[in-house]
Amino acid sequence: MTHLTDTYTLNNGLTIPKLGFGTWQTPDGATAVQAVKDALTTGYRHIDTAQAYGNEASVGQAIQESGVARSDLFLTTKIWNANHSYELVMSSFAESLQKLQTDYVDLLLIHWPNPIDFRDNWQAANAETWRAMETLYRAGKAKAIGVSNFQPQHLEELAKTAEIQPMVNQIFLAPGELQPAIVSYSQDHNMLLEAYSPLGTGKIFKVSAMQQLADKYGRSIPQIALRWSLQHGFLPLPKSVHAEYIQQNTEVFDFELTNEDMALIDALDGVVGKAQDPDVATF
């Protein structure tokens, strides 16, 4: 039993499958279509994409071809940096729906809090972006709304004008990068933490301590990393384009890491790199 239907409950009561299928860096076209179809065949019901990934159309095509009912899926997309205004959210989101071949998404996120084009007025740009997302939420076009890569200072600013509290914060969380300040802030404000790049964009495979744990539990390194993420209460979004690994990444609900091994992984500081600082990133 893969338990791919196990869920967390967001602060608005919506349920979200505990493991999602990530599509960042999955090339648009045949590769993305096949990967998403393989994920759906495996039993994934939670698919994560974004305007910036350039593969929304492939995700939409894969969903159509899979035969899985839209109502059985949890689908996420994200508003990209160039679209931080009320009007641009509305127009770009309409385009996203068209590409995804759906009339709603389950979760809509602001992808990045402080794009370089808005660095002088990012607070106002986020407020307008969020106001548009609140409109979409009230209209049922987005069943939940949230943010991505937001740090406490960005959320504090957003809270000054927001009428609806973010339900999710999707950030880089992997062994070696626990982001304690924003994790505790998000949890204190009842936001679910989604973990993108939970395998450290492949860097996890070079970590000898993870290999030792994989050997100890008779598991793969990704399975250990995903189990760690789940035991922290995070929602990991592993990405793969290989059917065998897509399947393997779902087999994480039938074992548990000891407290000692959780602490050991927690202590692996910086082994997969660190999250980018959104206030100085050049995009």
CA atoms in the 13 A half-sphere facing the CB of 212 = 6
Based on the residue annotation, tell me whether 53 is a catalytic residue of this protein: yes
Q: Rounded to the nearest 5°, which phi and psi values hold at 282?
A: -100, 30
CB 200 within 8 A of CB 174: yes
| Cα angle value 232/234/239 (rounded, 5°) | 125
Give 16's strand partners: 8
In the three-class reduction of DSSP (H, G, I as helix; E, B as strand; rest coil), residue 147 is classed as strand
Q: In sequence order, what DSSP letters do the residues of 166-234 get, joined into one string?
A: --EEEEE-BTTB--HHHHHHHHHTTPEEEEESTTGGGGGGG-HHHHHHHHHHT--HHHHHHHHHHHTT-
Annotated active-site residue in 44, 53, 137, 185: 53
For residue 192, the cross-strand partners are: 168
Helix (H) or strand (E) holding 235: strand 235-237
One DSSP character per residue, 54-111 reads T-HHHHHHHHHHH---GGG-EEEEEE-GGG-SHHHHHHHHHHHHHHHT-S-BSEEEE-
Active site residues: 53
